[in-house]
Amino acid sequence: MPVDRKKIDYDKLHEQYIVQGKSTTEIAKDSLTLLGVQASASLVYQSLIRNNIPVRNKSVSVSMSKSTLDIDQSFIDEPTIEWIDGFLLGDGSVKLEWRSNGFGGSRFSFGSVEIDWTKYAMSKLSAYGVSEPKQYGKTTERCPNIEWQSRTRTHPDIIKQAERWYPNRIKKVPTDVRITPTSLLLWYLGDGSFIYDTKHNTPHLRFATCAFLPSDIENILLPKLAALGLICSRETHKNDICIHSESVGRFFELIGSKSPISCYDHKFNIPEWLSKIHLCQIVKDDKEKWRAIYYAKTGQIECFKSPGGHFLLFTKDQADMLRKKLDGSRPYIHHKE
């Protein structure tokens, strides 16, 4: 009895061909399990066309079949996702590749004028067959330095990440984006900057997020940064994320005080006083704030002042002593059973 072609489910076919990256031959070989019907490779191919699922061109299919990557094995784990999210928040790229005659897979790619940055950014993606950085293009007046570019092979893991970050082919921050010390470091190295205004003793730490939707920044990124103890805001006229001065120390506590690559040492060159703990990170309300200021003025608690005297600053030991003193000064409240 001939197979009813309408029974080949679109979602199952899309999952196996696009998401899992399997060939028509591989799908046909186990079609009864994968699709619920027995189908030949030609029928699988015809079903792709009928369901408007983009097919790979011949050169890509050959490339995938000769790849040393095992497309049936996933290399994704939590540390890798953290790296990927920091990579894509910053300078990294991943997109579904569409060519004139069909679907072309998906790869992670990276380009920078600093070869060490390119190597470092791709270093945790080696499971996907990272190419050696090569220089492409020509120098121009606007771009006097040629980028060092590297990319991975295509793999189903990468296709899933491309679909996660580019739904409908438009970049959108995933709601489950990982904001961790690892992803923060990659993001900062890529699109972060630090400038210190010596005249006014003011630090400016920001992320260039002009390409992100304001709603993604307000509803996804800022709450996740706040959960790490970082006081941030979105700068409306540029759509950048600003890390407030009182959180600069906390930020570098999370990502580390030294750059992993020497070409970006300047991004970690912060004044020592910014690494200390601000009073606002210790007190819970205005009542505690004024009590803490009183303790500092009367010498009951030792502390430092920022240049210009705007902020009270504490070492970890001093902060612990202040917290203990504030806890001891709180009135005891008896809760009725």
Q: pLDDT for 170-224, tens place per residue?
A: 889 999 999 999 999 999 999 999 988 877 777 889 999 999 999 999 999 999 9
Tell me, what's the pLDDT at 102?
59
CB atoms within 10 A of CB 5: 12
Quick: pLDDT tens for 253-283.
Answer: 999 989 999 999 999 988 877 777 878 778 8
Tell me, what's the pLDDT at 122?
96
Q: Which fold has domain 181-273?
A: Endonuclease I-creI (3.10.28)
Calculate helix-pair angle for 286-297, 316-329, nearest 10 degrees.
120
- Give the residues of the chain that fall short of pLDDT 50: 1-3, 5-6, 59, 62-63, 65-66, 331-337
Residues 6 or more apart in contact with residue 324 via CB below 8 angstroms? none
Q: Distance between CA atoms of 324 and 320, rounded to whole angstroms?
A: 6
- Provide the residue ranges of all domains of the chain, joining segments of one domain with +: 5-53, 78-136+144-169, 181-273, 277-329
Tell me, what's the pLDDT at 213?
95
Handedness of CA 222, 224, 227, 229 (dihedral sign): negative
Answer whether 78-136+144-169 and 181-273 agree in fold. yes
Residue type, 261: I
Query: Where does 78-136+144-169 sit in CATH, by number?
Result: 3.10.28.10
> Residue 299 is encoded by which pair of tokens?
């010498």
Question: What is this structure's pTM?
Answer: 0.69
Handedness of CA 61, 65, 67, 72 (dihedral sign): positive
Taking alpha carbons only, the member of 56, 82, 117, 104 closest to residue 264 is 117
